[in-house]
Amino acid sequence: MEQATRLLMVNTITRKNGSVLLVEYPKSGGTWLGQLIADYLELPFPRNRMPVWGKSVFHSHYLPTGRIPQNKKIVYLVRDGRDVMVSLYFHQLIWNEKNRLNPKDVHYHRKQTGFADFEDVAGNMKAFIEYAFTSRPSKWQQFTFMGNWASYNSAWHAEMQKGRGNIYMIRYEDLLEDTFKAMKALLQDHLGVARVDDEKLRATVQKFSFENQAKRKKGEENKSSFLRKGIAGDWKNYFGPAEKEYFKEQTGNLLIDLGYEEDMNW
């Protein structure tokens, strides 16, 4: 009911009531960005529960289908797909404090992948990437399936290229590098904030920083935490030649189009 209600709303009333629609492929930093936007704009950010009917921040993984692309304030969040693969592995197959509250997804993905040792992340990475790009869950498992990282981001990138001005792309890595700068640009250039209150924004950035929420520095890994590591480039610890080659086969020039690589020689 929650998912059906959300899908109905992003095709209808959110197009007219000033809500912010945040779209991302899973594990791209959407929760963090949603918290930042909602806190500064003082809007509700309902997560894992029934949405509110008034103006709010909607966090979603929806594809640009139906009337969804007609929303006036769409924030399209992108993250390096190689890092997404690593983060997705830990999210789907390794127990943390969040998925223990709703264990069915971990049980499902463990059954589907069937790895002998789920803790052998590097050893399983090639097979997991194949699983992430080719598996398609049933409607009972996932009501709204967003496809894989490449198909999802190709669809939204193509939609953005139409130039209607209602879609603003922001990269997770830019948020990590300078959260204040990236957020100020988003607020001014897309969300209609004519004059950003720097002091208020700095307070928001500090409130939802990795260090403040995780109580440790970026890069200090805690596999049992939803906020596992908080860095970019972790894929280099898990991708070997086979993983690189398969990822290139599945994604083509998308890393180049999104500004992550200059050519295919990575």
pLDDT digits (tens, 9 = 90+) for 100-142: 888 998 999 999 999 999 999 999 999 999 999 999 877 666 6
CB 210 within 8 A of CB 35: no
Beta strand 74-78 pairing with 20-24: parallel
> What are the tens digits of pLDDT across the range 9-37?
999 999 899 999 999 999 999 999 999 99
Grouping H, G, I as helix, E, B as strand and the rest as coil, residue 57 is strand
Distance CA 169, CA 160 (A): 8
- Using a pLDDT cut of 70, give the percent of the chain over it: 91
Question: Which amino acid, residue 79?
Answer: R
Predicted confidence at residue 150, as pLDDT, reads: 98
Predicted confidence at residue 138, as pLDDT, reads: 75
User: CB count, 10 Å around CB of 37?
Assistant: 22
> What are the tens digits of pLDDT across the range 173-199?
999 999 999 999 999 999 999 999 999
Q: Where are the domains of the chain?
A: 2-80+146-214, 81-145+219-257
Using the predicted structure, report yes or no on whether residue 221 has a pLDDT greater than 70.
no
CB 56 within 8 A of CB 43: yes
At the second CATH level, the architecture of 2-80+146-214 is 3-Layer(aba) Sandwich (3.40)
Predicted confidence at residue 262, as pLDDT, reads: 95
Q: Give the mean model confidence (pLDDT) for residues 245-258.
A: 97
* Tokens 């992108």 found at: 78
* Tokens 């950003």 found at: 196
E strands along 144-212, which residues? 167-171
Grouping H, G, I as helix, E, B as strand and the rest as coil, residue 24 is strand
